[in-house]
Amino acid sequence: MAQHNELGKRGELLARKFLENLGYQILDTNWRHEKDELDIVAIDGELLVIAEVKTRSTDHFGDPSEAVNTAKEQFLIRGAEAYLESKKFDYEIRFDIISVIITGNGHRIEHIIDAFYPE
């Protein structure tokens, strides 16, 4: 596995543990529908949370969350709609971004709640 893929998997695991520690119920990770993928699908109270995880080894070129552009948002929205349909769920959806920076000294997590809204 390529080094950046390993870094991404580590970041997703850290993000999952972070959300679990906050009391979120994790339903799925790396859920796929066609070419769309949802990193983490969780329940927070009465909301279905779609969490996109972005992991980097440095923030030298900006925060990892900045990699979630309008096109990525559209993929996430489409994936969330497919998820709800496949599971026959009737939840309100919230889209979060979790930025993870992993260095040799540890890691830093930033959780952006309601990072964007579907139009």
pLDDT tens over the chain, length 119 residues: 566 678 889 999 999 999 999 999 999 999 999 989 999 999 999 999 999 999 998 877 778 888 899 999 999 999 999 999 999 988 899 999 999 999 888 999 999 999 998 87
| Contact in structure between 7 and 52 (CB atoms under 8 Å) | no
Tell me the whole-structure pTM to 2 decimals.
Answer: 0.92
Report which secondary-structure segment, H or E, holds 74: helix 70-87
| Contact in structure between 43 and 89 (CB atoms under 8 Å) | no
Residues 3-116, CATH architecture: 3-Layer(aba) Sandwich (3.40)
Instruction: List the strands of the sheet with 25-33, edge to edge.
Output: 25-33, 36-44, 47-56, 92-103, 106-116
| Contact in structure between 119 and 75 (CB atoms under 8 Å) | no
